[in-house]
């Protein structure tokens, strides 16, 4: 096996690894929300549930960051394969180049990063509503301030993660332009 074949195998392995990592974080995020809604059904753990409500949006945002980073890594390897074929024709299979260069380029998933953030936003809003309902009878002025600061912090972080996702998307577009 030549050195270039070994290198390509490692790249394929790296791409698969990042696909698996991205998939795991999507699953973890879904499990988080499922357990979030399931935990609320037990009245004996309402104190734990109440604290969990404050943490859920931040955990979801961390998963979003990982999902976007892993997605970028997968695409980066695909772009490298396209570039490698331009520099050294025949080093990558014709089918893969056809897949990467023509088909995927024309049929990119445009809503994936938005869907993940939209899901986090919904999760944050449900957490905010649940916290408000749980605290409704005992709201005092300092407690309202803490609640509003928490909610504002969640929304600001969602916006920051959204702009991070947009910057990754723009970087992918720049790499695609370089390959033309």
- What is the per-residue pLDDT across 31-74, written as a single tens digit (0 to 9) for each? 888 887 666 555 455 666 777 888 889 999 999 999 999 988 88
* Beta carbons within 8 Å of 155's beta carbon, 6+ residues apart: 124
Q: What is the predicted pLDDT for the residue at 54? A: 85
Q: What is the predicted pLDDT for the residue at 41? A: 57
Q: What is the predicted pLDDT for the residue at 142? A: 64
Residue 83, token pair as written in the block = 């570039």
pTM, two decimal places: 0.79
Q: What is the predicted pLDDT for the residue at 83? A: 77
* Beta carbons within 8 Å of 76's beta carbon, 6+ residues apart: 175
DSSP 108-177: --SSHHHHHHHHHHHHHHHHHHHHHHHHGGG--HHHHHHHHHHHHHHHHHHHHHHHHHHHHHHHHHHHHH
Q: Which residues of the chain have pLDDT under 70?
A: 1-3, 37-48, 101, 113, 136-142
Q: What is the predicted pLDDT for the residue at 62? A: 92
Q: What is the predicted pLDDT for the residue at 140? A: 59
Dist CA 101 CA 108 (whole Å): 11
Residue numbers of the domain that contains 123: 3-179
Q: What is the predicted pLDDT for the residue at 139? A: 55
Residue 125, token pair as written in the block = 């809003």
Dist CA 70 CA 21 (whole Å): 7
Q: What is the predicted pLDDT for the residue at 109? A: 75
What's the number of domains the chain is made of?
1
């Amino acid at each position: 096996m030549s050195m270039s074949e070994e290198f390509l195998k490692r790249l394929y392995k790296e791409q698969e690894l990042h696909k698996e990592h991205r998939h795991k974080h999507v699953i973890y995020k879904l499990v988080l929300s499922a357990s979030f809604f399931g935990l609320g059904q037990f009245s004996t753990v309402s104190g734990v549930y109440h604290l969990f409500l404050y943490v859920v949006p931040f955990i979801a945002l961390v998963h979003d960051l990982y999902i976007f980073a892993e997605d970028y890594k997968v695409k980066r390897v695909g772009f490298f394969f396209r570039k490698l074929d331009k520099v050294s024709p025949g080093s990558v299979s014709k089918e893969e180049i056809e897949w990467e260069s023509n088909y995927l380029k024309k049929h990119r998933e445009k809503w994936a990063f938005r869907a993940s953030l939209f899901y986090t936003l919904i999760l944050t809003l449900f957490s905010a509503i649940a916290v408000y309902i749980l605290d409704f009878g005992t709201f005092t002025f300092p407690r309202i301030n803490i609640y509003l600061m928490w909610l504002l912090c969640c929304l600001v972080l969602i916006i920051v993660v959204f702009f991070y996702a947009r910057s990754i998307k723009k970087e992918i577009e720049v790499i695609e332009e370089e390959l033309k």
